[in-house]
């Protein structure tokens, strides 16, 4: 009987050894897979860093552009005499109360042939459902109804305080959504998962409803109609993109003019006014502060409760001091701020401004970002607001007996982020913000005396079926593409910086020298060493052939004879220039005179310290006047400046889409 027992022991031992091998193999595979995922996730983070760095650099450029308009008023001779409407547009209010619905809406008929949604005033829940279903079918709301909604929204908003105070209860939860940025599918998904707004389903939408995405007006209409139906249960905070100057750069203005060709300018004009009446924050249960951006060491909630928020026409336009002066020339004070003579007021609008201190308070709550570093210091990435550390958070919350700050304003890979020992929460609701698959969206649910709960989602079409490496490759390729476009716009400056480092004139630099030059010229805080394999070629010794930075990309020249420096400058500042000329194009003809072009370009040249000779500008202006009638179609001209990627050409030659 001993023999079978021996065999049994043997087989049991074999079984144990086999299981041990299987377990060991499983652990090896698991470790490999975790390492594999970590590498791809790291590459995804690098790509997101590129997107975010360029996004913030553009915002910094937008703030610099705002400074240019002040500079323009100082230096553009007799601008107030020639175009007082421009002064009022930049620094005053655009819409007089006397321009009521009758003047704007009654003359716009809805034809019988219109088959889109028809709203019935006063609005009800049925209208919310009607809009949502219509927009799912990609229908356009008629301009008559858009204007009606905007006027009614303004009327109700004017009755509201700067900060909305709301209460939760054990039986009534509150949902907080962050930036949507025209991503209508994200709003649909939130409503699908969480329900439409109602008396028992309250929402806070924390700003940045518009820009970047293609469906900003649809989001605004759904939110405004929901607000009008449930003014005590749907709350709207102003973000830094609820601003006509931001809309000019980031797409909403273009969207409106495309969808509403006949009445788009009226819609935009009224929207500018509606923005100014949006509340700037919400306070929940007297414990949780909800604002779009953040705080600073000088944030004064008592002052922010009192300011006349409708005077903040654009957060990008600082207040312009008024002086009692009967001279027609604009003057400047000792610190360089523009002084507008009081007689130039248009309908009194220029006196309707916040003080500089009040303006700075609003800038801080709309533009600031939290950081781990203690203290409060300038937000150098965005160019506006500040970075605030955990000590600042504790100081401000304690001062006003608050427990938590909920804010938005920053894209987060997981849709939300908790920092400052749980006292600051960032929520961002636009998934796929930079590229499909780049980030999740999220919303927060709050109930009385309970910890916030986070709900994540991602609108998916094709990405859900792709493996990780393919999803990351798409994001990474898109990020590298826009980074290369940034590089080609500074080609001359980069080559000059490279050559200063290349003492031996070999055409090569060390990795450190190349990274230093890239950082110094582009001003982007990026992991250049890690990104180098996507941007340049290296030799066997690890030295970089710096001219390979530009080997697969160039700017298309609409004027062949123009110098490269001029072409790069026009490409780099094309968005700024387009905004400037669209603002001064007061009759919206799309044309500006040769004289205006030369005068404005010279101011732009001076303010941005661009070294372009006047004769080049004069020659360019002559070539831009295609039919020699003394006028320039500037928007069409700027469209001629675009970057050509070698990969695009190869794809097209192969018959594949780029």
d(CA 636, CA 640): 7
Spatial CB neighbours of 385, under 8 Å, sequence gap ≥ 6: 293, 294, 296, 363, 364, 366, 367, 368, 369, 379
Task: Compute the distance between CA of residue 189 and CA of residue 13 in angstroms, rounded to an integer.
Answer: 55
Q: Classify residue 75: in a domain, yes or no.
A: no
For residue 546, give the 3-state DSSP assignment.
helix
Does some domain include residue 91?
no
- Lookup: tokens for 571: 């490409």
Quickly count: other Cβ atoms within 10 Å of residue 499's Cβ: 14
Q: Which residues of 222-237 are buried (b: 16+ CB within 10 A; e: fewer)?
A: bbbbbbbbbbebbbbb
Q: pLDDT value at position 100?
A: 63
Same domain, 589 and 448: no
- Last residue of some domain: 435, 457, 479? 457
- 349 domain-assigned: no
Per-residue burial over 7-40, b = 16 or more CB atoms within 10 Å of its CB, e = otherwise: eeeeeeeeeeeeeeeeeeeeeeeeeeeeeeeeeb
Q: Are residues 338 and 90 in contact, defined by beta-carbon separation less than 8 angstroms?
A: no
Same domain, yes or no, for 177 and 307? Answer: yes
Q: By three-state DSSP, how is residue 607 classified?
A: helix
Residues 452 and 571 reside in one and the same domain: no
Name the burial class of residue 617, with classes exposed (0-12), middle (13-18) and buried (19+) by CB atoms within 10 angstroms of its CB.
Answer: middle
Supply the residues annotated as catalytic.
Answer: 241
Integer Cα distance of 78 and 84 in angstroms: 10
The answer to whether residue 302 is domain-embedded is: yes
| 427, 574: one domain | no
> Who's near 598: CB < 8 A, 6+ residues apart?
617, 618, 621
Distance (Å) of CA 433 to CA 153, 219, 322, 458, 630: 28, 16, 42, 10, 42
The CA distance from 281 to 161, in Å, is: 9
Nearest to 481 by CA among 137, 47, 43: 47
The answer to whether position 379 is within a domain reads yes
- Cβ atoms of 46 and 63 closer than 8 Å: no
CA distances from 369 to 120, 364, 407 (A): 42, 9, 9
Backbone angles phi, psi at 66, to 5 degrees: -60, -40
**What are the structure tokens assigned to 324, written together?**
């009692």
Domain harbouring 245, CATH code: 3.60.21.10
Mean pLDDT by runs of 10 across the 658 residues of the chain is 63 74 84 81 84 86 75 59 56 51 77 93 95 96 95 96 93 94 96 95 96 96 98 96 90 93 90 95 96 96 95 79 46 37 43 82 95 91 89 97 96 96 97 91 89 92 67 86 90 93 92 94 90 91 91 70 72 80 67 75 77 73 70 68 58 40
**Co-location of 445 and 571 in the same domain:** no
Strands, E, within 542-589: which ranges? 544-545, 553-555
Residue 288 β-bridge partners: 284, 404
C-alpha angle 337-338-341 in degrees, rounded to nearest 5: 140
Residue 57 resides in a domain:
no
Provide CB contacts within 8 A for 359, sequence distance 6+.
312, 315, 318, 319, 353
Residue with tokens 């409060």: 376
Greatest extent of the chain over all pairs of C-alpha atoms, in Å: 122
- Among residues 396, 423, 457, which one ends one of the domains? 457
Return the closest-CA partner of residue 576 out of 210, 56, 69, 54.
69
Put residue 507 in one of left, alpha, beta given phi > 0 → left and psi -120 to 50 → alpha: left
Distance CA 14, CA 11 (A): 5
Q: How many domains does the chain have?
A: 2
The CATH number covering residue 580 comes to: 1.10.238.10
pLDDT at 307: 95
Q: CA-based angle 398:403:405, to the nearest 5?
A: 100
The CA distance from 155 to 150, in Å, is 9
Cα separation of the two ends of the chain: 77
Domain boundary among 421, 440, 457: 457
CA 143, CA 232: separation in Å to the nearest integer? 27
User: What range does the domain containing 243 cover?
Assistant: 116-321+354-457
User: Is the separation of the CB atoms in 57 and 482 below 8 Å?
Assistant: no
Question: 627 lies in a domain?
Answer: yes
Residue at 13 is within a domain = no
Helix (H) or strand (E) holding 471: helix 468-488
**Bridge partners of 176?**
204, 444
């Amino acid at each position: 009987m001993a023999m079978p027992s021996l065999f049994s022991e043997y087989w049991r031992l074999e079984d144990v050894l086999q299981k041990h091998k299987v377990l060991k193999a499983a652990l090896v595979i698991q470790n490999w897979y975790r390492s594999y995922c970590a590498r791809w996730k790291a590459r995804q983070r690098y790509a997101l860093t590129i997107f975010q760095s360029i996004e913030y650099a553009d915002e910094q450029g937008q703030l610099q552009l705002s400074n240019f308009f002040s500079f323009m008023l100082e230096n553009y001779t007799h601008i107030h005499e020639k175009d007082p409407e421009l002064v009022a547009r930049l620094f005053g209010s655009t819409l007089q109360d006397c321009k009521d619905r009758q003047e704007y809406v009654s003359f716009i008929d809805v034809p019988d042939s219109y088959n889109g949604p028809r709203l019935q005033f006063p609005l009800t829940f049925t209208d919310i459902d009607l809009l949502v279903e219509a927009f799912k079918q990609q229908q356009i709301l008629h301009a008559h109804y858009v204007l009606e909604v905007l006027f009614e929204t303004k009327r109700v908003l004017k009755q509201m305080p700067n900060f909305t105070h709301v209460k939760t209860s054990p039986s009534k939860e509150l949902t907080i959504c962050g930036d949507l940025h025209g991503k209508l599918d994200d709003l649909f998904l939130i409503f699908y998962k969480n329900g439409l707004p109602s008396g028992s389903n309250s929402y806070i939408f924390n700003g940045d409803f518009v820009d970047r995405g293609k469906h900003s007006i649809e989001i605004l209409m759904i939110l405004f109609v929901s607000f009008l139906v449930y003014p005590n249960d749907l709350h709207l905070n102003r973000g830094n993109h609820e601003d006509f100057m931001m809309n000019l750069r980031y797409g909403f203005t273009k969207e409106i003019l495309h969808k509403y060709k006949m009445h788009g300018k009226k819609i935009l004009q009224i929207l500018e006014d509606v923005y100014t009446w949006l509340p700037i924050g919400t306070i929940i249960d007297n414990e949780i502060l909800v604002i779009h951006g953040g705080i600073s060491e000088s944030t004064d909630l008592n002052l922010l409760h009192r300011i006349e928020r409708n005077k903040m026409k654009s957060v990008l336009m600082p207040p312009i001091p008024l002086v009692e002066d009967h001279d027609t020339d604009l003057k400047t004070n000792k610190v360089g701020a523009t002084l507008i003579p009081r007689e130039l007021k248009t309908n009194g609008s220029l006196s309707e401004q916040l003080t500089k201190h009040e303006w700075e308070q609003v800038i801080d709550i709309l533009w600031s970002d939290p950081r781990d570093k203690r203290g409060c210091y300038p937000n150098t990435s965005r160019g506006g607001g500040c970075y605030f550390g955990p000590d600042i958070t504790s100081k401000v919350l304690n001062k006003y007996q608050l427990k938590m700050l909920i804010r938005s304003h920053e894209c987060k890979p997981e849709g939300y982020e908790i920092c400052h020992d749980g006292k600051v929460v960032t929520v961002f609701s636009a998934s796929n913000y930079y590229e499909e698959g780049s980030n999740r969206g999220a919303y927060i649910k709050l109930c009385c005396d309970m910890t916030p709960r986070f709900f994540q989602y991602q609108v998916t079409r094709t990405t859900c079926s792709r493996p990780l490496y393919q999803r990351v490759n798409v994001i990474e390729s898109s990020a590298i593409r826009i980074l290369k476009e940034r590089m080609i716009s500074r080609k001359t400056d980069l080559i000059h910086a490279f050559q200063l480092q290349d003492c031996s004139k070999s055409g090569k630099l060390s990795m450190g020298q190349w990274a230093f030059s890239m950082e110094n010229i582009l001003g982007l805080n990026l992991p250049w060493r890690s990104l180098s394999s996507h941007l340049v070629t290296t030799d066997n010794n690890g030295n970089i052939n710096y001219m390979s930075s530009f080997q697969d990309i160039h700017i298309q020249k609409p004027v062949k004879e123009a110098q490269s420096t001029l072409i790069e400058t026009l490409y780099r500042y094309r968005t700024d220039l387009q905004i400037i000329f669209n603002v001064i194009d007061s009759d919206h003809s799309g044309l500006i005179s040769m004289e205006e072009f030369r005068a404005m370009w010279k101011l732009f040249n001076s303010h941005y310290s661009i070294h372009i000779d006047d004769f080049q500008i004069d020659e360019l202006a002559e070539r831009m006047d295609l039919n020699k009638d003394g006028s320039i179609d500037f928007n069409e001209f700027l469209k001629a400046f675009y970057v050509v990627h070698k990969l695009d050409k190869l794809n097209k030659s192969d018959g594949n889409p780029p």
